[in-house]
Structure 1
């Protein structure tokens, strides 16, 4: 598969996962943990083509790779995430029912979902490790900001999540998720710039974020610049 077609497939899969999360009405932490499991770890593993040598897994679900099969794994990532974060997690039949509706090229059984779950866990060496996500850090930062400044109430949290979705959808910007703490700080600053009225910009958001996170100011500025470029120039 060429690099352009591979990039297009990745974008399509990320959009599929985000749309599926909306249809299932999962909480944001479930969605972003699933994105981390699927995009940062599982899909990255597949992109290295390790599976072709039988390094960890061998299954008809991966050989050959089809978009419909990868859509199954995106739903399974949401399923695993829901079991991690929800006291009343969604049952597998909820994901199968959605898969029957939105996956057009293939019909998957409950057994296929269970097999895909085992494969995904094998790829991650059964280590989920979902506490180190940008979304968790972002929530914490916004909570702290609201505690020290009224302007925190003006920061649109939906805009923060829209930015995070956009960065995941664009492969060239998804690398920012490798530094979740600095990314969370930068998303907060970018959302502040975008959603807070300019006449209320008296709060020194950049200096505050630098102080709270110990991130370097130049690093935050660079990431904020990348974020604003992707938000205001869809061609990037």
Structure 2
């Protein structure tokens, strides 16, 4: 990771992104696609900027927490453009930033610039079909088809687990693929939300085959 970044910085910015998604009332797909863009791809790639891949830009040199919060909002903006009609407006993003980003006041132009820099770091690859949320939803649908106990597994619990994993940087440490991450989340949600006396369906062997 880029020199000078506090180890706890990522967690704070991820928490900010999750809270912003809640305040903006975006759909789950927008939220988790934005998390994938920012946490899984953009933030890890910051280290490559020292090798000359990223262009010099005041939002990245130096990297400040307030600027990372701006990139988090830009990730939500890009995600909403992909998945929502109409997408989030700059006005709403700017208003939220004005309220919750204390160190810096960002203009409409800053949001546009942050979006461009984000896209450049991601090399304009913004596909979001291969993310854990998509696989969680698919697995839940399949589980409900093969076992009545699937109705007891709460989608909200899956999202809470995913939030915790992102906040604690376990999405990259524990699993190497979105599908594997999704199966792990489903198993934990099954254990948490399904009463033990109804554990008739062998969920572990089943997810191992999916």
Q: Could you list the per-position Cα deviations for residues 196-215 of structure 1 after superposition, in whole angstroms to 9, with x for gaps in the alignment?
A: 0001000111122122x2xx
Aligned residue for 2:187?
189
Distance in 2 (CA, whole Å) between partners of 1:14 and 1:177 is 18
Aligned-partner SS, 1:178? coil
TM-score (ref. length: structure 1): 0.84
Return the offset for 1:3. Answer: 8.7
Which residue number in structure 1 is paired with residue 84 of structure 2? 86
- Find the counterpart in structure 2 of residue 31 from structure 1: 31
Give the Cα separation in 1 of the matches to 2:128 and 2:87.
16
Match of 1:119 in 2: 117
Q: For residues 89 and 33 of structure 1, what CA distance do their matches in structure 2 show?
A: 14
Shift, 1:4, TM fit? 10
Residue in 1 that maps onto 2:41: 41
- The C-alpha deviation readout for 1:7-34, integer Å capped at 9, x for no partner, is 2111100100000000000011111110
Change (3 A) 1:177 1:23: farther
Q: Secondary structure at the match of 1:7?
A: coil
The equivalent residue for 1:51 is 49
Aligned-pair CA distance for 1:93:
1.3
Distance 1:177 1:57, change over 3 A: farther
**Aligned equivalents of 1:157 and 1:39: distance in 2?**
22
Would you say the 8 A contact 2:14–2:166 is kept in 1?
yes
**Which region of structure 1 is more displaced relative to structure 2, 152-161 or 53-62?**
53-62
Q: Does 1:147 find its partner at 2:183?
A: no
Runs (4+) off by over 6 Å = 1-5
Paired with 1:193 and 1:90, the residues of 2 have a C-alpha distance of 36
Aligned residue number for residue 10 of structure 2: 10
Using CA pairs below 8 Å that are at least 6 residues apart, which structure has the higher relative contact order?
2
Question: 1:54-203, aligned counterparts within 5 Å?
Answer: 54-176=52-174, 178-203=176-201
Matches of 1:186 and 1:155, distance apart in 2: 13
CA contact (8 A) 1:134 1:177 kept: no
- TM-score normalised per structure 2: 0.94
CA-CA distance at 1:57 after TM superposition: 1.9
Distance 1:144 1:110 in 2: 44
Quote the residue 1:233 is aligned against. Answer: none
Runs of 5+ unmatched residues, structure 2: none
Determine the C-alpha separation between the residues in 2 that align with 1:175 and 1:131.
Answer: 21
CA contact (8 A) 2:13 2:68 kept: yes
